[in-house]
Structure 1
C-alpha cells in the first residue's frame, strides 16, 4: 500500500521468487531495511491504525533488537500484527546462486560509509575515513548513497584519497538489490563505520566484514542516534578481528533465513493470488493521505516512532514532497533484477 514496499527492488525479488513476470500492489506493508527497533515503529508508524486487515511483513522473527511479542507488535486482542517472511536479499541471492550466477571474489575492499537521507542527515569526517581506509586496506571501491553523490565534498573526499566511487542507484530502481548483491558477492572484504543493512548483506553473502573509522552522527539529536545500541546488542560486529563465521550466523538470523517462505506461501502473504481493487486504492489514494496526515501532525504516530526524525518540522518534510508520493510500479520484469549482477562488466555499475 506504500511506496516503501517497492524500495530497493524488494518487490521485484519477491515477484521473481513467486514466478511472476510483473510486480503487483501489496495490501499491507513490507519492511524495507534492517532496523534496530521493531519495523512497526521504525518503518510502519505513519500507518498506525493497528488494523487487522493490513499485513505487516517483516524480515525476521529472531532479531536481538526487538521481540515479535513486544507490545508495539501486538493488536489490542494480544495477537501479533507482524509476519516474518525473510529479507528480499536472501531470495535474490538464492535465485542467482541456484543459476550459478554469483561472481567470483575479484573485487578488493568495498566500503559503505554510513549515509543519511533527504530527511535525516549524517554528519561526519569523510576525509578522515577515506584516509584511514587507505592506510588500512589500500585503494578501495566506495559505494556512496545516491544522495551523498549530490555533495561534491563527500565525493571528492574519497576520490582525492585514491578510491573508486560507485553507487547502487536510486532506491526506486528495481535493479538496486541486484547491484548490491553483485558487490557483496564479489568483494573480498566489506568495511563500514557502523553496522547496517548492507553490512548484514555482506556477512550473509560470506564476505569478510569489518567496522572501523569515525563514528558519524545520524540525525540532529545524538540521543536518538542508534549507534550505541548497535554496539551493545551486536558487539561481535565491532570486535577488532571479528569471527566472520559467527557474523554470518547472526546476519542469517537478522535477515530471516529461518523465516523464508515457499513461492506459494509468499504469494499468498503478499496478496498476489488475486487482483485487489483495495490494494490499488490504498497505494494511490488512502496510503498517501494517511502519510501526509502523519507528516503534518494530524495523525498521531506511536511513541518512539521515527526517532531519527525527532525535531523535524512538517516544513522539512514538505521540501521533498515527491519522495513521499507513490509512483507507477516498476515496469521491468523481476527477472531483470537477477541479471543486475552482470552490470559491472557492462560498465553500468
Structure 2
C-alpha cells in the first residue's frame, strides 16, 4: 500500500523469501524499523483507520513482534499481525555467514526534518579511544555533510553508508556490514543494534547519545531503563540475544507459502496497487499539510525545534511519494564508501 512498506528494501526481502523475483504492493502497512514506542502510534500513525473494527477489512498492520517491551498489543485500540522483521527473512535467504571481525559503529542519525545535534568530532574521538579505529556507518543524511564525515575520518575511522531508505539494496548492505563484524556499537539503542544482537553478535550501546532537534530531555535516557541488557557490559551475549529476538519477532516468521498467502501475493489483484499510487499519497498529503501548520510539542526544548523553509519541508514531504518497485536484489551487497557514494545520495 503506502511507500513506507518498501523502505530499506523490506518488501524486497519479503519477496525473495516468498520465492518472488520482485516486491509487490501489500494490503496494509509493514513496520519499517525498531521503535521504542508502539509502532501503531509511530510508524502507522498517519493511517489511524487501519486495524480498527470499522476500518478497511482488506488492510492490516503487520508488526514485527507482540513481545516487544515497547508496547502491549492488548492495550491498543487497533489490531495487528506479528510476522517478524523483514531482517530475519533476509537472513533466512542469505544463509549462515562465517564469524566476522572488527568493530562497526552506527551513530544515531537525524532526518531531513529533525537534525542531530552535538559534537561529532568529540564522539568520534571518544569511540577511537574505546573501540579503536573502526568502520563507521553514517545514515545518508549525515553522509552528505562533509563536516560530519571529516569528524570520523579525522579520528581514524573508515566511513561507509548504506544508501537512502528508498534504496532496495539498503537492508542487504546492512546485512553484509553487521554479519562481517564481531562487535557492533551505537550511541543509541536502534534498529541495527537489535538486528546484530538477534544474530548473537556482540552489540552494545555506549558513548554520548547526542540529541535530535526537538527531542524531549528524557527520551534517550528512558531507553537504558527499559532495555538495560544493551547498556550493561556485564550482561552476557546470550541474554542480550534473547531480548533482541523477542523485539524483532525472530520466532514469528512464517513459511514462504503462508507469507505469500497472508500478504495476498498468492494471486494478483488491483486494490493494493491503487492504494499505493492513489489512496496513500492523498492521505499522506493531507497529513503533511496538517503537520506543517501544527505547533511543536509543548515540552520540546525552547528554540530547539528546526524551522524549515517551504522548500525543505516540501523536499521531505515528497520522499513519501510512490515510485516503481523494480526487482529485488539477488544477494546482499557491500556498504558504500562515502567518498564514492556522496554524489548519488
Runs of 4+ in 1 over 4 A off after TM superposition: 309-316, 341-344
2:189–2:205 CA contact under 8 A, matched in 1: yes
**1:86 and 2:107 aligned:** no
Deviation sequence 1:255-305 (CA, Å, 0-9, x none): 001211111111122121222211111101110000111111289x9xx9x
2:243 counterpart residue number: 250
Match of 1:264 in 2: 257
| Residue-by-residue CA offset, 1:186-211 (whole Å, 9 max, x unaligned) | 10111110100000011112211221
CA shift, 1:342, in A, is 9.4
Q: What's the counterpart of residue 166 of structure 2? A: 172
Asked whether the equivalents of residues 109 and 190 of structure 1 are also in contact (C-alpha less than 8 Å), the reply is yes
Equivalent position of 1:69 in the other structure:
74
Name the SS of the counterpart of 2:13 in structure 1: helix
Which of 181, 205, 209 is equivalent to 2:203?
209
RMSD of equivalent CA atoms:
2.7
Q: Quick one: distance in 2 between partners of 1:322 and 1:110?
A: 32
Verify the 8 A CA contact 1:103 1:182 in the aligned structure 2. Answer: no
- Alignment pair present for 1:192 and 2:186: yes
SS of the residue corresponding to residue 147 of structure 1 reads helix
1:60 to 2:65 alignment: yes
Which position in structure 1 is the counterpart of 2:176?
182
**Cα displacement (A) at 1:120:** 2.1
Change (3 A) 1:179 1:281: same
Which ranges in structure 2 are unaligned for 5 or more consecutive residues? none
Q: Report the equivalent of 2:36.
A: 36
Shift of 1:67: 0.7
Distance 1:222 1:39, change over 3 A: same
Q: Shift of residue 136 of structure 1?
A: 1.1
Matched residue, 1:226: 219
Q: CA deviation at 1:13?
A: 0.7
Q: Is the 8 A contact 1:139 1:162 kept in 2?
A: yes
Aligned equivalents of 2:176 and 2:252: distance in 1?
23
Tell me if the contact between 1:210 and 1:242 (Cα under 8 Å) persists in the aligned partners: no
Q: 1:154-197: CA deviations, max 9, x gaps?
A: 10100011100001111111111111111111101111101000
Q: SS of the residue aligned with 1:187?
A: coil
Distance (whole Å) between structure 2 residues aligned to residue 219 and residue 264 of structure 1: 44
Residue 129 of structure 2 is aligned to residue 135 of structure 1: yes
Give 1:88 shift: 0.7
| Alpha-carbon distance in 1 for matches of 2:118, 2:267 | 48
Counterparts of 1:257 and 1:269, CA distance in 2: 18
Q: CA deviation at 1:47?
A: 1.1
1:80-100: CA deviations, max 9, x gaps?
Answer: x20000001111112212xx5
Q: Return the alpha-carbon distance in structure 1 between the equivalents of residues 29 and 73 of structure 2.
A: 16
Partner residue, 1:22: 22
In 2: Cα distance, 1:168 partner to 1:285 partner: 29
Query: How many residues align structurally?
Result: 327
Alignment correspondent of 1:7: 7
90, 100, 103: which one aligns with 1:105: 100
Contact 2:174-2:335 at 8 Å conserved across structures = no
The structure-2 alpha-carbon separation of the partners of 1:269 and 1:311, relative to structure 1 and needing over 3 Å to count, comes to farther
SS in 2 for 1:284: helix
